[in-house]
A and B are shown apart, each in its own frame.
Chain A
Amino acid sequence: MPDAGAFSRAGPDYRLTLGAGERALLARLLAELRTLLLDPHEAAAEALARLFPVVHPDDPAREAEYQRLMRDELVASRLAGIAVVEEVLAQDGPETPGVPGVPGIPGVVLDEEQLGAFMQAVNSVRLVLGTVLDVSEDDSGADDTGALAPEYHLYAFLSWVLDSAVAVASPDLDADLDADA
């Protein structure tokens, strides 16, 4: 049920129902992603590996040519998407009216293009976090009580936000498709 997630429909647009604290958290994560994208050091490249996959795994020359032509464009695309989402998160829209005793929800509204940028940016952060956590197919029982517990919880939160966005953008999609591909 889409309305139970981080998004709901608002006519032709979409309403982000996260509170100010959660929106600030997303904005901070996106700022960190931007810093990482602009960081030339090897450690950053390792964390970003899933954002820049190899295209021609069997042809190093062709791969080098592709990366020479396209990598900067992909970085620019990601930075532009982050900027779009930051603008959305900075909205200070009116809250929807609550009922007596129940507060309203934040009124951040996105159009379809902004929602698309939102999904791409949030998924980029998930890819970096998943790489750092070395998430694997059988991580359903991963130890989320150890030293990396905050990161695992963050990863789960981002997964929930992304799945909510997909559900509201594609309401016919099977609600059971909530595992990792």
Chain B
Amino acid sequence: MTEAPDVAILDAPSVDDATAADRPWIVLVWNDPINLMSYVTFVLQKLFGYSLPEATALMLDVHYKGKAVVASDTRERAEMHVFRLHEHGLWATLEHDA
């Protein structure tokens, strides 16, 4: 009779962990006093393919409400969206969707 092999006991991922991993990351663009409204609208169209009315509505949310969610994606892709927005000079941050 051989000895039982060592068994590593792993913590099973909790339901909360799994849920957190599944939650998308959201890309926020914030209002700032420097970027032109026309330029913000143009950048949102260029980077995300929004129509002019969609991009304009998002830009107006940024301007009047202080921020707008412009994308929702995996963390890796959301970070790339933020990088592109920063390349264009927009003030963008990431949040893990609640």
Nearest-Cβ distance from residue B72 to partner chain A, whole angstroms: 16
Number of interface residues of B (CB under 8 A): 31
Given the contacts A130-B33, A139-B33, A170-B45, A123 and B39 also touching, CB distance less than 8 Å: yes
CB of B20 within 8 Å of the partner chain: no
Q: A169 to B38, alpha carbons, bound, how many Å?
A: 11
Q: A136 to B34, alpha carbons, bound, how many Å?
A: 8
Interface of A is mostly: helix
CB of B26 within 8 Å of the partner chain: no
Cross-interface CB contact of A179 among B37, B42, B45, B79, cutoff 8 Å: B37
CB of A143 within 8 Å of the partner chain: no
Given the contacts A174-B56, A178-B38, A135 and B89 also touching, CB distance less than 8 Å: no
* CB closest chain-A residue, reference B62: A181
The answer to whether A181 touches B83 (Cβ under 8 A) is no
CB of A144 within 8 Å of the partner chain: no
The answer to whether A173 touches B52 (Cβ under 8 A) is yes
A73, A173, A181: which has the most chain B beta carbons within 10 Å? A181
* CB closest chain-B residue, reference A53: B91
Q: A56 to B75, alpha carbons, bound, how many Å?
A: 11
Which residues of B come within 8 Å of A, CB atoms? 31-42, 45-46, 52, 56, 59, 62-63, 79, 82-83, 86-89, 91-95
Query: Could you write out 27 A-B pairs with CB less than 8 Å apart?
Result: A50-B32, A51-B86, A53-B91, A53-B93, A55-B86, A56-B94, A74-B86, A77-B87, A81-B87, A116-B46, A120-B87, A120-B89, A123-B35, A123-B39, A123-B89, A126-B34, A163-B38, A166-B38, A170-B38, A173-B52, A177-B37, A177-B56, A178-B36, A179-B36, A179-B37, A181-B35, A181-B37
